[in-house]
Amino acid sequence: MKLIKIASAIGLCFTSLAFAAPTVVPNPPALGAKGYVLMDFKSGEVLVEKNANTPLNPASLTKLMTAYVAGQEMNAGNISAEDSVLISENAWAKKFPDSSKMFIEVGTRVNMMDLYRGLIVQSGNDASVAIAEHVAGSADAFVMLMNSWAARLGLDNTSFSNPHGLDSEQLYSTPYDIAKLGQAIIRDLPEIYPLYSERSFQYNGITQYNRNGLLRDRSINVDGMKTGFTSGAGYSLASSATQGDMRLIAVVMGSTSPKARESESKQLLSYGFRFFDTIEPNKVGEPIAQPRVWMGDKDNVNVGLAEPLYLTLPKGDIPKLSAVVEMQQDLSAPIEQGAVVGQVMYKLEDQVIAEASLVAQEPVEQGSIFKRLLDWVKKLFASLF
């Protein structure tokens, strides 16, 4: 598709600076964890990382995928939040004597949402097996679903071998993959994600408290997600927090203690909120340009983004953002609504940082014979001068 620049820039509703000072962002905190990542939820931009793509033992961060698979099965109608789940010997609490559990008993029936809370709030290994068996018939079959969803979500350095996260050579993931999984949970399971903010859950007469201590830290608005620990993995934490319209996801893997994983996660989140912001430069449905259309029943067509686009930038760079629109040359009717007719490039100074297709926001039908003849004459004369 041959493109022609029709505008040098479009307004982005930010204050322009004729001579903008260079943006200085301090170095991110250096943490002691084996690996970590800080990601913006909306844009997916990685702001801080160390060993972000190095496979590590996820421990109970595995339960994020257990919850995600079950949530997708619920969305598909294969299971229900109202299901009464029969507890097998495999899921019996006594099978996990030295690990976290919700204390379910063999032969009893447990409500599906109680199991969800036992999985998310109490980090119950027994709950994870009960959910796996209810969804897929067996833990092994459920693991196949976990790995299938991992592939679908693009978790390229992740492998699951059980639904609970106890140590296994075939169980590994990365800080980046866990962050992407957290992003998927928040995006795809809006009815389940609020469970991650619950601070306690009582079952079988036993009250247990969410091990994510950041939920009780009033200085930062953390509303999920999941802790993890085994002797082989160390202490891990996936957390998400909001400030205004911005949401960040931090993943810390292989910290030395529960306090360390919380402190390190808070440092990442605080750094991101302090020095970065996420913007939507143009909204879906907002006309970005109105290029000329030939041979149509109208002379111009509104064009804009087909999908939401978010950019995460240092706060000092936002006023410097500009956009350049390029449209298909000699745009002629008929044009279907949604047809790609050009592109927009977002730039910081002379560097393109993002680009997206522009689509027609309305159909343009072919004009009358007289209109087409008139446009042909106009194009002919325009080509002569």
Catalytic positions, please?
60, 63, 123
> What tokens does 369 get?
């014979």
**Ramachandran region, residue 244 (left: φ > 0; alpha: ψ -120 to 50; beta: rest):** left
Q: What is the rounded distance in angstroms from the CA atom of residue 174 to the CA atom of residue 188?
A: 21
Burial label, 369 (beta-carbon count in 10 A; 0-12, 13-18, 19+): exposed
Q: Rounded to whole angstroms, how far apart are CA atoms 47 and 40?
A: 7
d(C-alpha 150, C-alpha 174), whole Å: 12
- DSSP assignment of 63-93: HHHHHHHHHHHHHTTSS-TT-EEEPPGGG-G
**Number of CB atoms found within 10 A of residue 45's CB:** 18
- Establish whether the linkage from the previous residue to 334 is cis, with ω within 30° of 0: yes
Distance CA 205, CA 103 (A): 10
Is 226 annotated in some ligand binding site?
A: yes
Nearest-angstrom CA–CA distance, 109 and 87: 6
- What whole-number distance in Å separates Cα of residue 168 and Cα of residue 159? 10
Residue 127 has which token pair? 């709950």
Instruction: Quote the distance between the C-alpha of residue 233 and its chain's center.
Output: 24
CA distance 371 to 378: 11
Residues in the chain: 385
Indicate the annotated binding residues for substrate. Answer: 226
Indicate the annotated binding residues. Answer: 226
